[in-house]
Structure 1
C-alpha cells in the first residue's frame, strides 16, 4: 500500500528544499536510495510538485549530485545553491536554470571555508536571500567558527552583490552550544520578528528556531526552541503568501547501530533512527508573543473525512457515556476503555480531552489488544506539563531493565486542568504524527505492533473524552 506521507518508491526522502511559485509548492529533496541504490540511478536532488501535500507529481531527477541548499529567482533566472563533498571536503556550489528542471552548474562559483573565521571541516547547506537594508545578498551556511572549544557549530554568514563573489563575515549566530554545524539554515520574517531555523544532531537532536527583531540580533531562544521531537529533522520552510509551512522528514528505523534494541525484541521499535524517511509537513503558527508553534495543515486534516465506527466498552474503571462524551472518575487507579473495532492502517484519530488537577496521565493507546498488555501510549502528563510517546517494551515485566530513560519521545506542553485540548493523531503504517492543542507536534514510528484497537485511559484522576472519532480518506 502506498504511504500517505510521501516517500519515493523503493527510496526515502532526505532534506527538503521548498520553493513556491504559481500556486504550487516545488519541493526539491535529497533522494535517498540506501541499499536499493544501483549504478546509474540519480541519488541527488529530485523534484516534486504539490498544491495540497496530499497529491504529488514526481518530476524526477534534477541531475544535481549534492547536498542541501536553496533556490531563489532573480531576473527570471533560477539560482540553486547547494554543497558537494569531494575527497572529504565540503564546498558550496552554484547552478542556474530557466525552468527549475534543467540545471547548469557554474564550476568557477564554487568555494569553501576561509580557514580564518571558519574551520575547514564543515561548509554546507547554503541559504541565500536579498537583504534589503544592506542592498546585497546574504548567504547563511552550516559551518564551524574557529575557537578554543569543540562547541564551534554556527550559522555562518557571507555577503555578495552578484551571487558570484562572496565576502566572509562573522557568523550570524554562533552561541557555542553545539559541537556540530547548524544544519539546513533557514530565515524568514513574520510580522515584526525575524526567525532563524537550523537543525542539530549534537546535544539535543532536532530542528530549532531563534527569534530577533533585527537581522543583527540578538537571537533569542524561546522557552521551547524545537518544532517537533526526535523523530523530525532537517526541516526548512516556505510561504505561499498567506501561510508558512515547515518541511521535514520522519526517519525510519532500519539499523540497530549501537545495539540498544533488546536482544529478545524481534522487532524494530528500538533500532536507531536513520537518515531520511517520509516527508512530513507542519503549518507554522505565530503566537501573540512572537513564539512559534505548529499544527497539521488544513489540506491534510480535511482529507480524512470518512468516519468509521468506534464503539467503546469499559475494561477497567467505571466509564459513562452521555451523548458524545466518555467520562471516567478514577482518582486512585488506572482506568481504560477500548473499541470493538480495530484501527485502520491509515486513519486520523481525534478527540477533545479534559482532566482534573490531580490527574497523573491520560490519553490514547494505539493498536491495543483486548487485555491492554501491549500498545503504543500517547500520554498527557499534567503534573509534568508534557506529552509523551511510549512503545510496548517499556510496558513488559522486563521493561525496567531495558533502557536508562523513562520515555522514548516527549514534548513540553502547558496543561491546565479543566481546559479542553484537541488531540489529533495520524497513523500511516509505521508512521505516527501527533498534534495537540493546535500548536504542538510530536512525530513517532510504530513498527512492532501492526494491528490493534483504540483505547482511552486515565491514570489516577478524572478525564473526559468528547467527540472521539476515527476517520479515513474516502479511498482509505
Structure 2
C-alpha cells in the first residue's frame, strides 16, 4: 500500500493550466499513438506510445480530461537483442499485492516469435517501472507467433478470473484472443471471444460491462473500414454481435480505449496526423489525443458525445445563430458551436469551411443516407472521414462542432450519438457557416470561444 499512497500524494499537485493551451491535450509534440487509459480515484492515467524512436511508453494524467500533467517516460524500448526492441500497446492494472502492473507488447521485427506479451511493475503509476522479462510469453501454439499484441487485462467477476484479451490470429483468421489466470502468474489460453474471416487484425481490444451488457471495442485495421467499432453481448463469454451503427467515429480517429464507468466513462484515441503535416497527404500513424464521452443509451447502444469538461472551456459568447445569420464566424481561435435545428427529413445540411483562394471544405450531414462526411476542399474519396448515424424521423438534429486551430482539427458530434473527427491544418484560416442545400431550417444555437 506504500506505493498507492505515493501515487495519490503526487496527484494532489496542481496540473498544468489550460489558459493558452489548445482544446485537447497537446503537450506531446512528437505525436500520440495508442493511448491506454487507467482510471482510479478520480484520476485518468493515460499511458501512450510516443511517436518517436521505437515507440516508448509515456504517461500523462488528468482529473477531468481537460488539464494534463507534463508527460514522462514510463517504459523505454528495449535493446537490439531484446524482445521489446519496439514496444506496443497494452494496459495497466492495480496489483492485488500492491503497486501496479503494465502489460504491453514486445515487438521485434526479426525475431521468432515476432510479438510477445511483456510485463513491468511499479510501486506507483508514475513509476519507477521495472521490466520483468521472465514473465514474457508468446501466442503459440494456441495463437499466432507473429500477430500477438495489445494485451488488455481486467478482473472478470463473472468468470472469477483475470482475463487478458489480445489482437491476434488463429488458423489464419483474425481473432480477439483470450487468456485467463487466477493469480496473474500462470496464463491459460482459451478459445477466442470473437473471430472473423479477415486478412488483418482487430487491434487494441477493450471490454467492459455497462447496464447489464458487455461491450467489446476494437480498432479495425482494414483500409476500407478503418474505424473504432464495437460489439455487444449479454455475457462476458459472448457470443458478441455487431449493433447497428457499430462505428463510433470516422477513419481519422483510431485506437480508441475507454476508462471510467457510467457517466464518467471516457473514450481516448488519437486523431491522425497527415504525412508531413500536409492536408493534401494521406493519414499517418499517430496524432493528437482526443477524448469523447462514452455512454450506454436507453436502447443499449454505445454513444459518444462532447465531454462537458471540454465544453466548459468555452465561456465567452461570440455569436448567436439565427435563421437570418447562419455564419458561425472565423475559426482563427478555438470555438464551440452548439445548435439545434430542424430540416425536412431526407435532406442534407452541414458546415462550410471557406479558406481564401481554395475550394471550400465541408462537413456534409446527409440525412437521407444517414451519413456524415468531411470533404477536404470539396473532394470526396475513400480517405474522407465518414460515420453512419440513425436519421431523425422528425428532422430534428443537435450538432456540437469543436474547432481547434492550433492543432488543426475539428470534431462534429451528431445528436450526442456519433462523432466525426477530421484533420484540417488550415482550419484557422477558414470562416464557417451553416449550409442547408437550399432547404429552409428552423435553428437555434450559440457559438462560444475561450
- Equivalent position of 2:437 in the other structure: 459
From 10, 24, 49, give the equivalent of 1:5.
24
C-alpha spacing 1:164/1:111, structure 2 compared with 1 (3 Å) = same
From 254, 271, 279, give the equivalent of 2:275.
254
Cα deviations across residues 80-139 of structure 1 (Å, max 9, x unaligned)? Answer: 110111234101011111112111111110011113x32221011101122223332111
Q: Could you tell me how far 1:159 is from its partner in structure 2?
A: 1.4
C-alpha spacing 1:356/1:81, structure 2 compared with 1 (3 Å) = same
Residue 300 of structure 1 aligns to a residue whose secondary structure is: helix
- Equivalent position of 1:54 in the other structure: 66
- Equivalent position of 1:325 in the other structure: 322
Matched, 1:83 2:105: yes
C-alpha spacing 1:449/1:133, structure 2 compared with 1 (3 Å) = closer
TM-score by length of 1: 0.81
CA RMSD after TM alignment: 2.3
Q: Could you tell me how far 1:295 is from its partner in structure 2?
A: 0.3
- Equivalent position of 1:431 in the other structure: 409
Kept in 2: contact 1:16–1:248 (CA 8 A): yes
Matched, 1:355 2:337: no
Matched, 1:197 2:217: yes
- Equivalent position of 1:316 in the other structure: none
Matched, 1:389 2:370: no
- Equivalent position of 1:20 in the other structure: 39
Q: Could you tell me how far 1:230 is from its partner in structure 2?
A: 0.3
Q: Which runs of 5+ in 1 are unaligned?
A: 256-266, 311-323, 328-335, 395-402
- Equivalent position of 2:11 in the other structure: none
Which stretch shifts more, 155-164 or 229-238? Answer: 155-164
- Equivalent position of 1:346 in the other structure: 334
Distance 2:299 2:378 in 1: 40
From 260, 275, 278, give the equivalent of 1:239.
260
Which stretch shifts more, 417-426 or 191-200? Answer: 417-426
C-alpha spacing 1:133/1:351, structure 2 compared with 1 (3 Å) = closer
Kept in 2: contact 1:184–1:234 (CA 8 A): yes
Matched, 1:364 2:361: no
Matched, 1:377 2:389: no
- Equivalent position of 1:102 in the other structure: 128
Residue 144 of structure 2 aligns to a residue whose secondary structure is: strand
Distance 1:118 1:163 in 2: 19
- Equivalent position of 2:297 in the other structure: 287
Kept in 2: contact 1:7–1:277 (CA 8 A): no
Q: Could you tell me how far 1:416 is from its partner in structure 2?
A: 2.9
Residue 10 of structure 1 aligns to a residue whose secondary structure is: coil
What pairs with 1:395-414 in structure 2 (closer than 5 Å)?
408-414=384-390
- Equivalent position of 2:199 in the other structure: 179
Cα deviations across residues 6-45 of structure 1 (Å, max 9, x unaligned)? Answer: 2334311111111112221111111113xxx5xxxx9411
Distance 1:120 1:297 in 2: 40
Kept in 1: contact 2:219–2:229 (CA 8 A): yes
Q: Could you tell me how far 1:77 is from its partner in structure 2?
A: 2.5
- Equivalent position of 1:127 in the other structure: 152
Kept in 1: contact 2:27–2:71 (CA 8 A): no
Cα deviations across residues 254-302 of structure 1 (Å, max 9, x unaligned)? Answer: 25xxxxxxxxxxx932311111110111111212221111001110112
Q: Which runs of 5+ in 2 are unaligned?
A: 1-19, 78-86
Kept in 1: contact 2:31–2:51 (CA 8 A): yes
- Equivalent position of 2:178 in the other structure: 157
Distance 2:345 2:164 in 1: 49
- Equivalent position of 2:316 in the other structure: 306
Kept in 1: contact 2:23–2:310 (CA 8 A): no
Cα deviations across residues 122-179 of structure 1 (Å, max 9, x unaligned)? Answer: 01110112222333211111101114xxxx1110111122212211121111122x32
Matched, 1:270 2:289: no
Q: Could you tell me how far 1:64 is from its partner in structure 2?
A: 3.7
Q: Could you tell me how far 1:242 is from its partner in structure 2?
A: 4.4
C-alpha spacing 1:325/1:309, structure 2 compared with 1 (3 Å) = closer
Q: Could you tell me how far 1:344 is from its partner in structure 2?
A: 2.6
Kept in 1: contact 2:46–2:59 (CA 8 A): yes
Residue 461 of structure 1 aligns to a residue whose secondary structure is: coil
Residue 53 of structure 1 aligns to a residue whose secondary structure is: coil
